[in-house]
Amino acid sequence: MNKEIYITDYNCVTPMGFDVESNWKAILQGKSGVALHKVVDNHEAFFVSKIDSEKLEEKFNNNFNNKDFTRLEKMFLLSLKPLVERHPISDQTAFILSTTKGNISLLKNESSLPEGVYLSNLAQKLADFFGFKTKPIVVSNACVSGVMAIAVAKNMILAGNYKDAFVVAGDEISEFVISGFNSFQAIGSEPCKPYDKNRNGINLGEATAAAYITSTPSENEKFRFKVLGDSAINDANHISGPSRTGDGLFASVQNAMNEANISSEQIDFISAHGTATLYNDEMEAIAFNRMDLQNVPLNSMKGYYGHCLGASGLLESIISMQSALNNTLIPSKNFEEMGISQDLNIIKENKSAKIKYILKTASGFGGCNAAIVLEKA
């Protein structure tokens, strides 16, 4: 008999709150973390979603005594702590870290590579702090990392390598990241508008998110979401530009839904990638139409959180599960008028709905794409 894999617990640290409840409340009220911030010294302010550093420091000091951590590491520890307190760690527990840049800020004004910059060292430091016994696994595959980390946990447990897994995902706003995206003119000059006619680019964001994934849920879990199917396909279209035909995303969604044994009609909600760049949103519209998913209610959460890179896939999966638990579809913030060549059913207001099957997708640089199907159990 095939094992069933469940997400039974999660947490997040974002500009809108340091737990899931405060984030959900803010989203229901239509709030956003996106605001003008000065990030690069010799440059004007950018619209980004940034955590208040003073509040972060205060929250960290209330929970931890150890001060020997970077800002990003503090975000990771805060998101993981409640989960580690609720679920025992054994020698068959995996620790999976999703990030695209890790402690890249440590490179500033350095002539040699600090040890903390290596993603493997970052993962080991976090694992050691909480007492994980297995070697950490790092998933760093551009903007699909957060979705892929869930898939890696599921497949590792199915293969019998582990009994359960803690997945943590995160990235922070840094001069390095802002400069990189700005160099190819991808950053929007206003709060981002995924799928909208007047969209003009992304807002970057920062967050950490954590999830507990297991094949043996206890009777005490408040909820269970079964990870039914997953897939990650790279169409190798271009180093930064998405495929014009949506091939990789189409194949990822098709594979994930085939494994889940779910039809297009059964999907209740799509949490899409929706970065508000011209080409990404167009590519997604083409891929979803090819899969006959154009009528399924869909949103992008980038208007609330910005694009949180390695955290976005896991964070948006968590908010999607929260939507399902509360039987509420949340709008794709800042969307007003369709700006893609093929229509999608973009959610415009808070709406009551029964949500059983969720499709979560992500796409990223280098042609990578990923999809997972979740079922509210």
Q: pLDDT tens digits for 119-130? A: 999 999 999 999
Question: Do the beta carbons of residue 313 and residue 145 sit within 8 Å?
Answer: yes
Question: Do the beta carbons of residue 303 and residue 321 sit within 8 Å?
Answer: no
Residue 220 belongs to a domain? no
22-33 pLDDT, tens digit each: 999 999 999 999
Closest by Cα among 43, 53, 100, 106 to 75: 53
Residue 231 belongs to a domain? yes
243-297 pLDDT, tens digit each: 889 999 999 999 999 999 999 999 999 999 999 999 999 999 999 999 999 999 9
Q: Which of 179, 214, 249 is the last residue of a domain?
A: 214
The beta-strand segments (E) located in the chain are 6-13, 34-37, 46-49, 93-98, 137-139, 164-171, 204-205, 207-214, 225-234, 269-271, 297-299, 328-329, 345-346, 351-352, 357-364, 368-376
- Looking at this protein, which amino acid is placed at residue 2? N
Closest by Cα among 10, 20, 31, 75 to 305: 31
CA atoms within 13 A on the CB side of 149: 38
Residue 313 belongs to a domain? yes
What is the rounded CA–CA span in Å between residue 255 and residue 373? 10
Residue 239 belongs to a domain? yes
What is the rounded CA–CA span in Å between residue 85 and residue 122? 21
Q: Which of 214, 246, 274 is the last residue of a domain?
A: 214
129 and 13 housed in the same domain: yes
Residue 65 belongs to a domain? yes
Q: What is the pLDDT of residue 8?
A: 98
Task: Find the DSSP H helices in 198-311.
Answer: 247-260, 278-290, 302-305
124-180 pLDDT, tens digit each: 999 999 999 999 999 999 999 999 999 999 999 999 999 999 999 999 999 999 999
Q: What is the mean pLDDT of the chain?
A: 96
266 and 174 housed in the same domain: no
201 and 260 housed in the same domain: no
Q: What is the pLDDT of residue 271?
A: 98
What domain range is 170 assigned to?
6-214
- Looking at this protein, which amino acid is placed at residue 128? D
- Tally the domains of the chain: 2
What CATH number does residue 119 fall under? 3.40.47.10
191-210 pLDDT, tens digit each: 999 999 999 999 999 999 99
- Give me the DSSP letters along 111-123: SS--GGGSHHHHH
Q: What is the pTM of this model?
A: 0.98
Whole-angstrom distance between the N-terminal and C-terminal Cα of the chain? 18
Residue 266 belongs to a domain? yes
Residue 36 belongs to a domain? yes
